[in-house]
Structure 1
Amino acid sequence: MSLVVRKSSPVVVRPSPETGTTRGTIKLSSFDKGLYNMPSTTLLVFEHPLHNAAETIRGALSRALAHYYPIASRIVVAGGGGGGSSGGGDVYIECNDEGVAFVAAHTDHALKEVICFDRSPAARKLLDQLAVYYPGMSCGPGDPLLLMQVTEFSCGGFVLGVTWNHGGADGAGMGQFLRAVGELSGGSPSPSVAPVRWDGSLPSLRPSVLEAQQHLLSLDPRCTTFEAALAVLWRCRTRAIRPDPEAPTLLVFLADMRKHAGAKEGYYGNCIVAQLVVDSDAVMAIRRAKDQLPDRLKEDEEGVVGRHELREIRAYDTLTVTSWRNLGFDRVDFGSGRPARVTASGKDLPPSPGAVGFLSDGRGGGVSVLSDLVRQEHADAFLAELAKFI
């Protein structure tokens, strides 16, 4: 099936004047640095009709930006660039109300006809039409911090595609923002959670943690459900791709540090770290790594993987994982109910070739998996290993 999505020209949505905004600058925290040019995309699939969905959401978006005014701003890199752990320059948000980009789109197809999630090349191309992306899949200093597209289908269902600069908010923060847009679209006078973008009480990440995180981002393209599923995938993938049992493989999962860092309620800036694991006992290694998360904030913490060892591991020997189950995207409601599905576009995979994202199914009963785990020559071996657990 050939899907034709007709898109309007992008328009700029600025904060509504009903709430006074604050000018000035917001310095990026150590959690933000290294992520300010990294885009992220989320697709929220709503099955139930919403009258004039694009205009309803656009109006609520403007009102939400009056409360979340830094999202309507621009990132500035001063002093010669970089802005990372090496101190090559300062990076901050200049609050200037320049606004975000918004696209209204529609298609003559019904949602059930065209939304498939088998992650075939054709399906990925289809999903790619449901969002707006930054040129070159990288965020420039003058780009909006948020790109939004609402695609309305002939059945009345719609898809909200949200692409944002990760330096402006992490996944939990963007989920909080979208829930606020939903609340305002339903007539609430203000968001139920007061937003906080600058929290001076947050500790600073050590340079070694930032260096490891930046290295991972530069790579080429209790036994919980998370621990069990991740352990199976990691073990099967490692056995499939590694003929030498002594060769190291690296597991990376992204963790929310809000409770460990003591972030204020409503904080929507970045508060995540990349936790690294190298071990043969997958479940226990993942559990130990989760237990060690508070240590990432300590000055004398050595880290799970040494710098030299980290740089010796190939991109293909790295499995990067993130869980979206608790980010709040599945609780967004613009007036016609919560999304039936939360997923990502085909373009929005983590940087290492072996990667998987756990995505909420929107109904609270399970998870689906977006994966790009192995090369073609390892596919049969991986599936054979996976079959042992089914």
Structure 2
Amino acid sequence: MAAYYSPSSSLVFNVTRKEPELIVPAEPTPHEFKQLSDIDGQESFRFHVPFIHVYPNNNCVEEDPARVIRKAIAKALVFYYPLAGRVREGPRRKLSVECTGEGLLFIEAEADVRLDQFDDADLLPPFPCLDRLLYDEVPGQSHVILNFPILIQVTRLKCGGFIVTTNVNHTMLDGVGVFQFLRTVGEFARGATQPSIPPVWERHLLNARHPPRVTHTLISSTPKSPRLLPPLSTLIQRSYFFRRNELSALRRQLPPDLAHRRSTFNVLTALLWICRTIAPSPDPEEEVRVIILVNIRKRLYPTLR
């Protein structure tokens, strides 16, 4: 048991964890190697990503959520069996997943706090309670991805609600992939026998040809001026919500021919890029770039899952 004090409020609560356990697929699965693509294996993706899902008590579920989720994970892993394996590194640091069926690490926990006791800031990034609600198997080693399992912790609250936290390495799953896997877990928890969207592993489609047929000049994303890339230790993370009124005000600042032709994402990204570029007062002649991650699943056939 560990007591936790939330710095954003006066909230103090205790969390009791059971011993971690490995959840293996509910049925036998193939023992094979699955390639990770050249995009998956790039250095900037070799880290763990936490995801937090908060569920209030809806007064219609009497079963223990940890027990239901545990069983649903085992069923989902039959279809998502690479997630029960381990990431391996081969020649030239090429990554693959060995489908060993060893399982996903599962932690069941209990917190002596109700959901309504959390302040709004407690449930927004940066999540101040994360170290209590997500078991850290390798403290301070978020870059270690080889041979480590995906992790899920289910923490029951006094009010009947619960919090599900996951820790996955980015080489194996991105945000959309995590969402789809958890959606499948939810479907099995509600009695499904098949996932509504069957997973497809076609990572080899994103591997470079040998030798490559297309050559290009690689543009470095590292700015020339150190002021444009300050140390992470000097940055403060905050969450901001742009509602309809704020978005309308931003669109009114655009030229009339662009105001309603650009998505909300494009408008907000442009605003943040402008503010972020102005803030460090760079050399007016310096080139400043913005990098945007794009979901390409719908552009590929067969669709990547």
Evaluate the alpha carbon distance shift between residue 118 and residue 184 of structure 1 in structure 2; reply closer, same or farther with a 3 A threshold: closer
| Distance (Å, rounded) in 1 between the aligned partners of 2:131 and 2:215 | 35
Aligned to 1:141: 146
Match of 2:96 among 88, 92, 99: 92
| Distance (Å, rounded) in 2 between the aligned partners of 1:187 and 1:22 | 25
Say yes or no: does 1:61 pair with 2:61: no
Runs of 4+ that moved beyond 4 A: 118-121, 199-203, 205-209, 211-216
**TM-score (normalised: structure 2):** 0.73
| Distance (Å, rounded) in 2 between the aligned partners of 1:116 and 1:182 | 26
Q: What are the superposed Cα offsets for residues 68-123 of structure 1, whole Å, 9 maximum, x if unpaired? A: 000000111123xxxxxxxx2332111110111111111111112125337899x7
| Distance (Å, rounded) in 2 between the aligned partners of 1:236 and 1:71 | 40
User: What is the CA-CA distance between 1:166 and the residue it aligns to?
Assistant: 1.2
**TM-score (normalised: structure 1):** 0.58
| Distance (Å, rounded) in 2 between the aligned partners of 1:54 and 1:124 | 22
Q: Secondary structure at the match of 2:34?
A: strand
Aligned to 1:103: 107
User: What is the CA-CA distance between 1:208 and the residue it aligns to?
Assistant: 8.4
Aligned to 2:133: 130
| Distance (Å, rounded) in 2 between the aligned partners of 1:118 and 1:250 | 33
Aligned to 1:171: 175
Q: How many residue pairs were aligned?
A: 253
Evaluate the alpha carbon distance shift between residue 208 and residue 53 of structure 1 in structure 2; reply closer, same or farther with a 3 A threshold: farther
Aligned to 2:277: 238
Q: What are the superposed Cα offsets for residues 316-340 of structure 1, whole Å, 9 maximum, x if unpaired? A: xxxxxxxxxxxxxxxxxxxxxxxxx
Q: Secondary structure at the match of 1:3?
A: strand
Evaluate the alpha carbon distance shift between residue 215 and residue 174 of structure 1 in structure 2; reply closer, same or farther with a 3 A threshold: farther
Q: Secondary structure at the match of 1:148?
A: strand
Aligned to 2:190: 186
Q: Secondary structure at the match of 1:41?
A: strand
| Distance (Å, rounded) in 2 between the aligned partners of 1:95 and 1:219 | 40
Say yes or no: does 1:47 pair with 2:56: yes
Q: Is the 8 A contact 2:35 2:204 kept in 1?
A: no
Evaluate the alpha carbon distance shift between residue 126 and residue 200 of structure 1 in structure 2; reply closer, same or farther with a 3 A threshold: closer
One-letter code aligned to 2:269 = L
| Distance (Å, rounded) in 1 between the aligned partners of 2:285 and 2:122 | 34
Aligned to 2:42: 34
| Distance (Å, rounded) in 1 between the aligned partners of 2:67 and 2:19 | 14
Indicate the structure with greater strand content. Answer: 1
Evaluate the alpha carbon distance shift between residue 195 and residue 120 of structure 1 in structure 2; reply closer, same or farther with a 3 A threshold: closer
Aligned to 1:10: 20
Evaluate the alpha carbon distance shift between residue 185 and residue 259 of structure 1 in structure 2; reply closer, same or farther with a 3 A threshold: same
Q: Secondary structure at the match of 2:41?
A: coil
Moved more, 181-190 or 37-46: 37-46
One-letter code aligned to 1:45 = V
One-letter code aligned to 1:264 = P
Q: What are the superposed Cα offsets for residues 282-339 of structure 1, whole Å, 9 maximum, x if unpaired? A: xxxxxxxxxxxxxxxxxxxxxxxxxxxxxxxxxxxxxxxxxxxxxxxxxxxxxxxxxx
One-letter code aligned to 2:148 = D
One-letter code aligned to 2:36 = L
Evaluate the alpha carbon distance shift between residue 208 and residue 89 of structure 1 in structure 2; reply closer, same or farther with a 3 A threshold: farther
Evaluate the alpha carbon distance shift between residue 97 and residue 189 of structure 1 in structure 2; reply closer, same or farther with a 3 A threshold: same
One-letter code aligned to 2:129 = L
Q: Secondary structure at the match of 1:181?
A: helix
User: What is the CA-CA distance between 1:13 and the residue it aligns to?
Assistant: 0.7
| Distance (Å, rounded) in 2 between the aligned partners of 1:198 and 1:150 | 31
Aligned to 1:204: 208
Q: Is the 8 A contact 1:148 1:162 kept in 2?
A: yes
Aligned to 2:29: 21
Aligned to 1:377: none
Q: Secondary structure at the match of 2:279?
A: helix
Say yes or no: does 1:264 pair with 2:287: no
| Distance (Å, rounded) in 1 between the aligned partners of 2:131 and 2:219 | 30
Aligned to 1:250: 289
Seq. identity, %: 30
Q: Is the 8 A contact 2:41 2:94 kept in 1?
A: no
User: What is the CA-CA distance between 1:43 and the residue it aligns to?
Assistant: 0.5
